Each structure stands twice: as C-alpha cells, then as structure tokens.
Amino acid sequence: MGELSQPVLIKKGAEACLYLAKWYDQEVIIKKRMPKKYRHPKLDEQIRIYRTIHESLLIHEAKKAGVPTPLVFMVDVKNSTIIMEFIRGSQVKHLLGIVSVNERLSLCKKIGELIGKLHSYGIIHGDLTTSNMIQAHDGKVYFVDFGLGEKTVDLEARGVDLHLLKRSLQSTHFKYANECFEAIIQGYSRVFDIGTVRSVLDKVREIERRGRYVAERG
C-alpha cells in the first residue's frame, strides 16, 4: 500500500475495523472488512469483496449527488480494504447537544437537504445516524459509512432511511428529537416536492406502526 504508517485501531465494528494512519504523509482512515468464521470461506470472501467495491462506488456517487463524502484514495479489493480521507471535525452526535437552538435547527435543515440529494439521486444510506455525519471545520457536513447503502428510488427504502434517523434522534437526542426531525424534513423539502415528501412521511409512519404491532404481538 505504499508509504503507510503503522495503523492505529480506532473502531471495531460488527463488519469492519477502522484504523487511523498516515499514507504518504496524509492522515487517512483505513476500513478493512474482517473475515467471518461462521461463513463458508469462499462465500465470505465474495461478500467482503462485493461490499468493499459497492461502498466505494456509493461514496463516489454521493459526491456526484452534491453530498460531501471522504475522498477514496485506494480500494484494495484483495484485502477488502478502503483507504479514504480522514475528515477532521465533530460527529453531529456530539454537536446537537452543545450548540444553540438556532444552530441546531440550521444544522438539521442542512442534513435534511443532503439526505434529499442522496434520495433524489437514487442513493439510500442504510445507516442514517448522527454518528455517521461529521461537521468539518469548514462547516460542511460529511456523510460517512455507506457499508449498508444501496442504489434504489424505492419509497419503502427512503422511508426506512428516515425512520432509522428518527429512531436515532429519539434514542440519542430525545430532548429535542422532534424539533430536529421536523427541521430535517424542512431541509428534505428543499429537494422534493410536497407530494413526494408527504408520501415518504406516510411511509415512515407506516413503518412505525408496523414496529409497534410487532412489539405488541411479542
């Protein structure tokens, strides 16, 4: 991989590990998908290779849609590894509770608009949480971790994306979850017409009802 410093593990996830390193004197994130012993080795390799290629393509597609994402410097298909730009900034997860009300609502509107750009371009993030959004020092909000993403314009997929974000707000930022989600929808409405927004919100409510039904039956 060229001039790569000793990587430092910063996050160990269910599917992949993230390392911080220097590559040709530039700070980078190395995302490496780890083998799963419960899968057949050949199948496991195929899955990791596919997801590595697919994620790097989605990161590039999101950028074309006008959504800031890390630059991908290298994709090592054989080792299921992506080397990408390290974004200096703060996770939105840590910002929402410390900024002013106006700043929080403005940030959420910006996030909503970016989600709208993704969806209008046929990209579903798949793991929309405030942990996967980073506000850089220049004010841009970057979306990261497209490992569960997909290309589709399906209404159900859009609804699931926003439902997941709403649940994330309720669990992590419960004091202002409602106002944040409303601001996100305002930003989303900058991209889509009112009819489309209503359809997506109807789908979010339908997904919520399904969840309650399952919980009650359980």
Residue 189: exposure state from Cβ atoms within 10 A (0-12, 13-18, ≥19): middle
Instruction: Considering the candidates 127, 138, 154, 193, report the single residue annotated as catalytic.
Output: 127
- Residue 96, SS3 per DSSP: coil
Known catalytic residue at 193:
no
Closest to 63 in 3D by CA, of 133, 121, 130, 135: 121
Q: Which two tokens stand for residue 37?
A: 């012993």
Closest to 176 in 3D by CA, of 104, 89, 118: 104
In whole angstroms, what is the distance from residue 102 CA to residue 125 CA?
26
DSSP 147: T
In whole angstroms, what is the distance from residue 42 CA to residue 211 CA?
36
DSSP 18: E
Residues in the chain: 218
Sign of CA dihedral 16, 17, 22, 23: negative
- The catalytic residues are 127
